[in-house]
Amino acid sequence: MVDIEEEIRSLQLDSAEENNGVINLEDGKPEFDKSDEMDEDPKQDVQPQPVHADEPKVKDKETPHVQDEKDDLEMKKRHVNVVFIGHVDAGKSTTGGQILFLSGQVDERTIQKYEKEAKDKSRESWYMAYIMDTNEEERAKGKTVEVGRAHFETEKTRFTILDAPGHKSYVPNMISGASQADIGVLVISARKGEFETGYEKGGQTREHVQLAKTLGVAKLLVVVNKMDEPTVQWSKERYSEIESKMIPFLKQSGYNVKKDVQFLPISGLNGANLQTRLDKSICPWWDGPCLFEALDSVELPERDPTAPFRMPIIDKFKDMGTVVMGKVESGTVREGDSLWVMPNKHPVKVVAIFIDEDRVKRAGPGENLRIRLSGVEEEDILSGFVLSCIESPIPAVTEFVAQLQILELLDNAIFTAGYKAILHIHSIVEECEIVELLHQIDPKTRKPMKKKVLFVKSGAGIVCRVQVINTICIETFSCFPQLGRFTLRTEGKTVAVGKVTKI
């Protein structure tokens, strides 16, 4: 049996010298992680739930005030997309709900209503999660299913929270949330036994970390939650134990722990160390920042507002026309712009642009938008389509060349031409087939080997041709990393991660 962690480490040696032994996905080099075994329902991969858009839609009779042109992109607060990830029951939704309450997005009366509702269901500790988990199935089971979406602000930054599901059956939805995020908040439960369950083989703590890195979440805040729990009681020993176990795994998953990862203790249920720093009487050993401060201080790479416009569509609905939702991955969009909906080259005009509840005249990269379009019907748009500028449209293909890192194949199978899997790339979920293996990657030199190869096993690196049934919109990783990195999953398990090298 191949030791996959050793294989991955050897693959990383050549390009990791300047980065503390860690490959940085943003520099155009591949990012390869070892995934853990899961026994999920294979159907979940083919039909992911739509991204949950619980933001109020603009009412027909109201036209919000359009912000003045002088309210320029550079003058606004920066905008950051934060995805909450981690094992089921770690406290992601509760922490997200508490953040919204502390930042004034939810009033006291609403909290009291949720508290009563949770008490009636004999689930007193779930009431904060009800802010993020809005449908009855989620509240009844205490599990997030869809990607919850909410907004809050600090003095420096506007944040969009993406609350990803932690249950292994909903990993495709977690992938959808993480693909829209700039930074991740990994929520870990400090309660005795709960950290171990999430971290051991089969737990979602591991897979979420690996998927987040592959999907482009470059910065990670690791919050050790439930520190107020009776089995923990703000114990420094427990906090240090979790930190010491997580650091080697984060390094192996490709994170530069010194530069891109920050640990901090919190209690999501009572709000400790979220908006204000911990009182020494509660936790005498912690003198670091609170979560709001840590989020404000995260540095993000510069985005180019002059690049060709790209916005993958994650959802659509009717509201005085056709409205599409998505995150701007590149470029700038303005009211009145003529665009194409790719891959169909359907010409559309931008009628209105909304950031949160505000109508704006233009928006740049990194913004989560709702755009009202004319010239297209809602039924002519699918999730995974891309709004694109006409001058330099996004390529639409049915076949591409990719560099893959095989993680762990099911039942120790072989990877060869004819291998089928589910492709996840930005908001696309498509069935794909490997049609040809071109080169195997030498694990020592990281260069293609000359000898032709017919099959490879778990742990191998490979350059191959991938084919999909329907036309999809993608970019090469070197040009647009966010639209050129992907995962392959089969029967509910991530079997490979990779990047598009040629279209």
User: What is the residue extent of each domain of the chain?
Assistant: 78-297, 310-389, 396-502
- The pLDDT score that the predictor gives to residue 1 is 43
Tell me the pLDDT tens digit for each residue of 370-411: 999 999 998 999 988 999 999 999 999 999 999 998 888 888
Count CB atoms within 10 A of the CB of residue 387.
27
- The pLDDT score that the predictor gives to residue 210 is 79
- Mean pLDDT of the region 457-469: 91
Which of 175-179, 181-185, 368-372 is least confident?
A: 175-179
202 pLDDT higher than 80? no
Question: What is the spatial distance between Cα 293 and Cα 317, in angstroms, rounded to a whole number?
Answer: 36
- The pLDDT score that the predictor gives to residue 52 is 44
Position 125: which residue type?
S
Buried b / exposed e over 3-35, threshold 16 CB at 10 Å, is ebeebbbebbeebbeebeebbbbeeebbbbbbb
66: left (phi over 0), alpha (psi -120 to 50) or beta: beta
Q: Which two tokens stand for residue 486?
A: 């992907």
Position 393: which residue type?
P
47 pLDDT higher than 70? no
- The pLDDT score that the predictor gives to residue 141 is 41
- DSSP secondary structure letter of residue 448: B
111 pLDDT higher than 80? no
Query: Do the domains at 78-297 and 310-389 have one common CATH topology?
Result: no
Among 33-37, 138-142, 405-409, 466-470, top mean pLDDT goes to 466-470
Tell me the pLDDT tens digit for each residue of 232-285: 999 999 999 999 999 998 988 889 999 999 999 999 888 899 999 999 999 999
**279, 286 Cβ separation under 8 angstroms:** no
CATH 2.60.40.420 fits 396-502, yes or no: no
**424, 417 Cβ separation under 8 angstroms:** no
Pick 426 or 149 by higher pLDDT.
426
Among candidates 146, 182, 152, 181, which has minimal Cα distance to 164?
A: 146
| CATH class of this structure's domain 310-389 | mainly beta
Instruction: Name residues whose C-beta falls within 8 Å of residue 319's C-beta, 6 or more positions apart in sequence.
Output: 57, 58, 60, 372
- The pLDDT score that the predictor gives to residue 167 is 47
31 pLDDT higher than 70? no
Question: What mean pLDDT is reported for the chain?
Answer: 78
- Whether pTM > 0.75 for this model: the answer is no
Among candidates 250, 245, 244, which has minimal Cα distance to 212?
A: 250
**Of all residues in the chain, what percent carry a pLDDT higher than 70?**
73
54 pLDDT higher than 60? no
**Of all residues in the chain, what percent carry a pLDDT higher than 90?**
36
Out of 3.60.15.10, 1.20.950.20, 3.40.50.300, 3.30.930.10, which CATH number does the structure's domain 78-297 have?
3.40.50.300
